[in-house]
């Protein structure tokens, strides 16, 4: 096959196609779309910050459009999803249990997520907790009182919370459901009945081979150095892997403007002719979560989208450049800006404290309309009846003259 040359725009759009972000959804979402969308991404990272909406909901909204928040928890309760450490804490399709089981069986390799010393010191209490669950069923950390009322912060977790998190990392318990987004834990054998490690398990090497292939499919187009971060793999010789995939005709080598040699997962081969002709067009404008797979690898986002991002919620307010929980704005295949926003649920107001455009983004009617529609869609999904705009760039100043009523 002759050498394939692609523009940076085409490479971005192939990546967005793999992620389900190339085109605006054509139909109203249904509950089954939750699992389908997570399968397409492989992982849905969990974060509990709720200044606008929780991150996993935003990631799904970006791809599905409006859907009821409870659908995600309902998918988990139906047994379609599981939770575990993948990229970070993530929802995964239940059928991927085999991919992460080796991590559960070797919790001492999980760093800060597992304290062997704590588990050994509290062995008797933990055994009693497991016995209680076996007899009485699922539990929440909230079911147990803190021995020192008034303590807060992860370093002051109540003992049973630490017990449950240790058991979770070690695969002794799993998350059966969530109640008000709080984890409800149950014994693993009840969530995975019939599972047998000897019969169904994968070695670490076998699992990581699948993870790498899954990463390539989810990225769509990639540099080998980008692969390991998706599942947070270590000591991976990615160049050796891509050479093998090339021989297996699983990938195609391409040259990309300014980025050099990259690899296309062959699941996207049907789109390659359009990409090569630069006619693969993105039409979607939406708000992204900081924990969206498109931007969670900050180095990849910088190289592919020329988008520099730092999460500032843990930065002291006076030192923040943009804001507490700043959301990237995607418009027609390009991350054109970012916004600092807050959802006031009691008053039904989406407050956009500040909106910025990225350097070099040109003002246009399409840009203005796309950004506005992304804001309106985002607000409507959260039940807002009004949008208020604070600081906006001169190129989008006319947004302030628009009708702020979303419905």
From the list 256, 241, 330, 349, the residue with the least C-alpha distance to 290 is 330
- Other C-beta atoms lying within 10 Å of the C-beta of residue 247: 9
Q: What is the pLDDT of residues 8-20, one digit of tens each?
A: 999 999 999 999 9
Write the CATH number for 369: 3.40.630
Number of neighbouring beta carbons within 10 Å of residue 372: 17
DSSP-H helix ranges across 137-171? 159-169
Q: Is residue 178 part of a domain?
A: no
Q: How many domains does the chain have?
A: 1
- Please report whether residue 81 resides in a domain: no
**Alpha-carbon dihedral angle through residues 8, 9, 13, 19, given to the nearest 10 degrees:** 50
Tokens matching residue 359: 């350097």
Instruction: With respect to residue 329, please indicate whether it lies within any of the assigned structural domains.
Output: yes
Question: Mapping DSSP to helix (H, G, I), strand (E, B) and coil, where does residue 45 land?
Answer: strand
- Each residue's pLDDT, cut to its tens digit, for the chain (407 residues) gives 578 999 999 999 999 999 999 999 989 999 999 999 999 999 999 998 999 999 999 999 999 999 999 999 999 999 999 999 999 999 999 999 999 999 999 999 999 999 999 999 999 999 999 999 999 999 998 888 655 555 444 344 578 899 999 999 999 999 999 998 999 999 999 999 999 999 999 999 999 999 999 999 999 999 999 999 999 999 888 888 999 999 999 999 999 999 999 999 999 999 999 999 999 999 999 999 999 999 999 999 999 999 999 988 888 888 999 999 999 999 999 999 999 999 999 999 999 999 999 999 988 999 999 999 999 999 999 999 999 999 999 989 889 888 666 55
Separation of alpha carbons 239 and 332, rounded Å: 32
- What is the Rg, in whole angstroms, of the alpha carbon atoms belonging to the chain? 23
| Domain-embedded: residue 347 | yes
Kindly report the length of the chain.
407
Residue 50 DSSP one-character state: -
* Interval 151-160: pLDDT, tens: 444 344 578 8
Residue 317: predicted pLDDT: 87
User: 0.75 exceeded by the pTM?
Assistant: yes
Q: Which helix (H) or strand (E) element contains residue 365?
A: helix 365-381
Adjacent-strand bridge partners of 330: 286, 335
Residue 185 lies in a domain: no
Lookup result for tokens 């933990």: 126
d(CA 199, CA 192): 13
**37, part of any domain:** no
Look at phi and psi of residue 249 and say left if phi exceeds 0, alpha if psi is from -120 to 50, else beta.
Answer: left
Residue 224: closest CA among 259, 262, 257: 262
SS3 sequence, 221-259?
EECHHHHHHHCCCCCCCHHHHHHHHHHCCCEEEEEECCC
Note down the domain range covering 327: 310-401
Within a domain: residue 283? no
Tokens of 403: 């009708």
In a domain, 27, yes or no: no
């Amino acid at each position: 096959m002759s050498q394939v040359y692609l523009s940076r725009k085409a490479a971005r759009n192939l990546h967005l196609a793999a992620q389900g972000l190339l085109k605006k959804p054509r139909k109203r979402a249904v509950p089954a779309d939750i699992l389908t969308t997570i399968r397409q991404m492989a992982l849905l990272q969990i974060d509990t910050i709720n200044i606008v909406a929780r991150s996993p909901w935003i990631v799904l909204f970006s791809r599905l459009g409006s859907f009821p928040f409870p659908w995600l928890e309902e998918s988990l309760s139906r047994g379609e999803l599981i939770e575990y450490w993948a990229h970070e804490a993530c929802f995964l399709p239940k059928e991927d249990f085999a991919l992460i089981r080796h991590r559960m069986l070797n919790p001492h390799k999980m760093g800060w997520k597992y304290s062997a010393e704590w588990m050994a010191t509290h062995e008797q209490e933990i055994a009693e907790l497991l016995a209680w669950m076996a007899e009485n069923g699922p539990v929440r950390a909230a079911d147990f009182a803190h021995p020192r009322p008034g303590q807060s912060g992860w370093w002051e977790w109540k003992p049973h919370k630490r017990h449950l998190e240790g058991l979770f990392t070690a695969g002794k318990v799993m998350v059966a459901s969530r109640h008000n987004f709080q984890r409800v834990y149950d014994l693993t054998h009840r969530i995975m009945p019939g599972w047998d490690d000897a019969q169904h398990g994968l070695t670490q090497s076998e699992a990581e081979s699948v993870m790498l292939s899954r990463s390539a499919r989810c990225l769509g187009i990639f540099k080998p150095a980008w692969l390991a971060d998706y599942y947070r793999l270590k000591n991976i010789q990615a160049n050796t892997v891509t050479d093998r995939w090339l021989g297996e005709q699983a990938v195609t080598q391409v040259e990309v403007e300014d980025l050099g040699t990259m690899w296309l997962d062959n699941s996207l081969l049907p789109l390659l002719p359009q990409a090569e002709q630069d006619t693969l067009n993105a039409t979607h404008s939406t708000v992204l979560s900081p924990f969206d797979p498109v931007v969670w690898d900050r180095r990849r986002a910088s190289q592919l989208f020329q988008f520099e991002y730092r999460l500032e919620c843990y930065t002291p307010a006076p030192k923040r450049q943009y804001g507490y929980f700043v959301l990237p704005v995607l418009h027609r295949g390009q991350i054109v800006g970012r916004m600092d926003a807050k959802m006031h649920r009691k008053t039904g107001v989406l407050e956009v404290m500040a909106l910025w455009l990225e350097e070099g983004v040109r003002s246009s009617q399409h840009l203005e309309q796309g950004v506005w529609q992304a804001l309106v869609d985002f607000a409507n999904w959260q039940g807002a009846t009004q949008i208020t705009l604070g600081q906006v760039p001169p190129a989008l100043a006319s947004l302030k003259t628009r009708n702020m009523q979303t419905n």
